Structure 1
Amino acid sequence: MIRVLVVDDEAMIRTGFQHILDAAHDIEVAAAVPGGQALRTAQDTRPDVVLLDIRMPDVDGLTVLAGLRRLPHPPVVAMLTTFDMDEYVATALRSGAAGFLLKDTDPEELPFLVRTLADGGTVLSSKVTRTVVDGYLNAGPRETAAHSLARLTDRERDVLVLIAEGLSNADIGTRMHLSTGTVKDHVSAILGKLEVDGRVQAALLAERAGLLKEPRGEDGG
């Protein structure tokens, strides 16, 4: 079972997400709480995935994210918002968030997105992906990004392209005929060499460098 913690200041949002996710056979909502209770609840319930409101009146979502990242076993965190152009999104992603969802996400898609997050994939709402990417592309010169990617092996660059496509570790393994453990090793090496905190940052760095426009072999070799 994938254990999920829902953190939002609105009780209606918490209840709605809980009903949707609890209906899935492989997902259970460990708790649904406002921001002020998030860290203590995460420590008590040890969720696999946290869906975290980025703007809350009692505590800032970025503050909660930082606290979650410091836990001994940090969960995967995706940020929630009602805004399709949120100035905090880039900061959250740079701080280690694995994705970004609008609160009006299609209920039928929500369990799939949670599974993707739990399996190491990244999730970005299609309504805001272009805005987020543009923010990263404007954050630094392409030459700097290309220099960072030069540290990667050919195989790692192929894995990075699939990360940028949003594939989970298992899906990358299937595509490249590798074990999930080997993919995890490649991902760890990629994040270390690129000096980023998460898959989203690595993917956007790849786009800034122009890697996603390059042709690559079908088998990833």
Structure 2
Amino acid sequence: MEILRMDRARLLRYVAQQLHHTLPDDFDPRADLDAHLDEALARLNVCINAVRPWRQDRFDPLHSTQYCSFLYFLAHTIWRRTATTETPTRLFLLNKALNGIDLFYEIDLPEVFFIGHSVGIVFAKATYGNFLVAYQNSTVGKNHGVAPVLGEGVVLYPNTAIIGRCRVGDGTVLAQGASLVNTDAPGHCTVFGTSTGAGVVFGPRRRDVLADIFRSPPG
């Protein structure tokens, strides 16, 4: 994959300098970054190549959504391979500071996902299906320690939430402002909030949102 604006060595320095200036302690993350950068970039490339509007096999570190995903993949890869937390924690905090997203390194996001705008997104340690889409101010959270289970191709539009004991079927789209709280969704539907705030309404999907976002969306 081509890294735009810089080469691999410069990308390493770029991340290390951001960590140093954001969290100015004496910790040196460069060994961890160097050892696991290539795997993180390979994982990122799968996402980039899956997203229809993005140029394939090209990563732009100044593209905020791509960089947000990169920092997650880097933190998650280091944690998964080393079981250490020092560098992953700092990468998590950097991502939070730069992009306003709460995406902990222990969370297992799917192989392919798309973050529309990162600001205000919160991901809990839930189960996530492939082709996940999340826009600003959307939340996946626990309720009394119980986390949701999301199927494939779930879309969270702005200001939506999936909280607690929810089993969300494949192809579920949460319309802006809708929330599922301890409520299942049957799948291949649109979830609308009600004007009274009491419960939700399930309606048909009017269009295939995933086909607009991904090159080869699930059927």
Q: Which has the higher contact order (CA 8 A, sep 6+)?
A: 1
Pairwise same-fold verdict (TM > 0.5): no
Higher helix share: 1
- TM-score scaled by length of structure 2: 0.34
Higher strand share: 2
